Chains A and B, each alone.
Chain A
Amino acid sequence: MTVFAAADQPTLVDFGNDVWWIVLIKIVGIFGVLVLMTLFAIVFERKVVARMQQRIGPNRVGPRGYLQSLADGLKLAFKEDIMPALADKPVYFLAPVIATIPAFLAFSVIPLGPTVSIFGERTPLQLVDSPIGVLIVLAASAMGVYGIVLGGWASGSTYPLLGSLRSAAQMISYEIAMGLSIVAVFLYAGSMSTSEIVAAQADGTELSFFGLEFTGPSWYAVLLPVSFVIYVIAVVGETNRAPFDLPEAESELVGGFHTEYSSLKFALFFLAEYINIVTVSALAATLFLGGWRAPWPISIWDGANTGWWPLLWFFAKVVVALFFFVWLRGTLPRLRYDQFMRFGWKVLVPVGLVWILVVATLRAVARESDLDAGQVAVFVGVPIALVLLGGLLLASRMRNRDTRVAAREAAAGGPAPAEPQVLDPQGRDRASGGFPVPPMDLVVPPSPRLRRRESVGAGTVVGTGRRSSSTTPEETDDV
């Protein structure tokens, strides 16, 4: 079913034939890209979220503050490494490593571009591919859970343990939803290999809409909108990002699983978290947003999908996905834990299952009636999805109707709330009955340490007395 758009499009046969130094270059390149993307993502997130909160964000280190995360990383490396007394030492040491290695591994199957020429060797811009390509990402994320769970357990402390229990439950449930959302993509692409999924999104189907001939969309984000929405929600839970950052909810669990970690071990956890975000963004681009292929207006240009240009389109898509992550964090409050689990198991998983059923039915109908699968998707799937989304929107508005009405009335100057009652502190005995309020005739006695300064008059309200950190012995003798 895959129609290869160009000779540059690598297929599964093109992998595994590289010279060893090409493989080495690719490995080092992916490592470098991931570390650089982490540094970029941290500073990008801080700057974007700062703009969303009417702040400027980091602006001191380097040009316009863009080296802030590099400085932070260096600072982390030189910090003291603390091993808690109650820690399980080997596991405590291993946990950040276990978290980091799968994060790097997962990126090896992401296609960054078409077949290019590196020092005269023709090779695809992808380290490795396999018939089960996407499953490797899933397996790596399943292994990454161990790092978090073991880190929390080995710390020998309560908050990390709670954080790791939460993350174990959370990542398992959301990985199921994520896997279900990807199944529809497998069905449509007819393959689980990442490079073939990108190839399957190369050309849109030719549609004739009331005599109007045009090329339909080819991205699975459009053809399989429900899958895309479920994937986006599930990976936010999978990467422990706000609003699903319950394993490290700082207002409840201090730092969650990494409360006790410091120095390089903490840095490894940090690195793993951001690499995971980059990886799921890259996977979203690969599975749903056409991979490294140029988006529509650019794709009119013939050279857009050849040579090294696709790297640009690919990373542009990844940065857009990263921005979406930051946007979510800047917008949504954290969910309560039971709401979060209910959402995963009672909404995402059933919707995913029903959607797979619908997609499989459409595929079967298309095959039986000899229609093109893309046509069926556009003419049946997209309207159904639109109706579904509209229905959900209406339902949620209906549910919050009374709140909305009340808010509108309040804004229009409806029945005002009762005047706030203020107890008269003079007339009533403060100690019996009323709330404790400070006396209105409060006179703060002058600090003895400030007595030498004659400018301070007796009875006036003075400072807190904390400013005398540099009190010399002679002064105290004087007092």
Chain B
Amino acid sequence: MSPLHMGVLAAAADTEVVIGTGETIVFWVLAPVALAGALGMVLSRNAVHSALWLVATMLSLGVFYVVQEAPFLGAAQIIVYTGAIMILFLFVLMLVGRETSDSVVETLRGQRVAAIVLGIGFAGLVGAGIARATEDLPVVGLTAVQGTVGGPAAGNVEAIAAVLYGRFVLAFEVTGALLIVAAVGALLLTHAEREPGTARSQKERSRARFLTDRPQTLPGPGVYARANSIAAPGRLPDGSPAPSSFATGVEPVQVDELPRTGSVGAEREGLPHAGGTDAALGTIGGGTTGPVPGSGEDAPR
């Protein structure tokens, strides 16, 4: 039914492994890159650098797949793993913050040695298992399994499609259902409950705002230029605090102010606009209601 069976039957295909020059070059260039990426991922202190090293490894593996006549697998590896999943990793790492690097203090005594020993042991177990399992498998050759481009069987993409949607269609659909359940579960756990239809649109909010007395935005706190605390309220033009700028939950504080700076040079020269633009325009004078904390005379000489 599947190409695999036909391949096993036609085991007379050449089992001699011939590696082309291009494949050899690609291997000897990219294998060190993949290995260095894996080591760099473990060894680098910065989490984003670790993720980047892993990207290098995954890219190399993707190219290996392509070179070994599995172009679809290679493209899927690059698009799905390097393109989407690692970007999501980076997304989280960047949200955590760029200064987060690993602490060099060992919290468990002997942790590194134990990790290295256990890691080597695990690699040995897995490697031995796979080696034993594939020891006596008959080698039929790639062409027998997936055909070639332009040949009788159509090639890698069609072969994967036939296996995935033919022989393993149940496993494929079960995996799909599992992924959907996982996605729905994640949505359910992070979803904030809100009555549907209660969210107001921008147009509605804008209209509601223009029906009030204040269509414009609230004034900000007086942190600009003369104080750097949000407890300092914004000033009205006469210098009195603006009530609408009080921050919620913070007692408004009258901060000490710098004297209003006039044009110092002009005062020295005794010019008519000494005392700054305020004096020249007449904005401070008889009409002010609040205290005037500083005037041109107090300006530092």
Complex interface residues of chain B between 180 and 218 (CB less than 8 A to chain A): 202
Number of residues from A at the complex interface, CB < 8 A: 40
Inter-chain contact A164/B75, CB cutoff 8 Å? no
CB distance from A278 to the nearest CB of B (A): 21
Complex interface residues of chain A between 1 and 59 (CB less than 8 A to chain B): 11-13
Q: Cα distance A431–B82 when bound, in Å?
A: 63
Partner of B82, one of A91, A143, A432: A143
Number of residues from B at the complex interface, CB < 8 A: 45
Stretch at the interface among A145-153, A284-292, A296-304, A377-385: A145-153
Stretch at the interface among A112-120, A131-139, A206-214, A364-372: A131-139
Inter-chain contact B83/A432, CB cutoff 8 Å? no
Contacts of A131 in B (CB 8 A): 71-72, 149, 155-157
Q: Cα distance A138–B149 when bound, in Å?
A: 22
Partner of B83, one of A139, A192, A430, A436: A139
What is the count of residue pairs linking A and B with beta-carbon distances less than 8 angstroms? 110
Inter-chain contact A432/B289, CB cutoff 8 Å? yes
Interface flag for A175 (CB, 8 Å): yes
Inter-chain contact B94/A448, CB cutoff 8 Å? no
A448-B266 contact, Cβ under 8 Å, with A138-B79, A431-B238, A436-B237: yes
Inter-chain contact B280/A445, CB cutoff 8 Å? yes
Q: Cα distance A13–B151 when bound, in Å?
A: 9
Inter-chain contact B155/A448, CB cutoff 8 Å? no
Contacts of A271 in B (CB 8 A): none
Interface flag for A255 (CB, 8 Å): no
Partner of B271, one of A13, A172, A448: A448
Inter-chain contact B87/A145, CB cutoff 8 Å? yes
Closest to A145 in B: B87
Inter-chain contact A142/B84, CB cutoff 8 Å? yes
Inter-chain contact A149/B289, CB cutoff 8 Å? no
Contacts of A153 in B (CB 8 A): 48, 90, 94, 98
Q: Cα distance A130–B269 when bound, in Å?
A: 83
Inter-chain contact B91/A169, CB cutoff 8 Å? yes
Inter-chain contact B237/A88, CB cutoff 8 Å? no
Contacts of B232 in A (CB 8 A): none
List the 6 shortest-distance A-B pairs measured between CB atoms, nearest first.
A142-B83, A431-B238, A135-B75, A13-B150, A431-B287, A436-B237
Contact sample, A vs B, 17 pairs, CB 8 Å cutoff: A88-B98, A135-B72, A142-B79, A142-B87, A143-B59, A145-B87, A146-B55, A168-B87, A168-B91, A172-B83, A172-B88, A175-B84, A430-B237, A431-B237, A431-B288, A431-B289, A445-B271
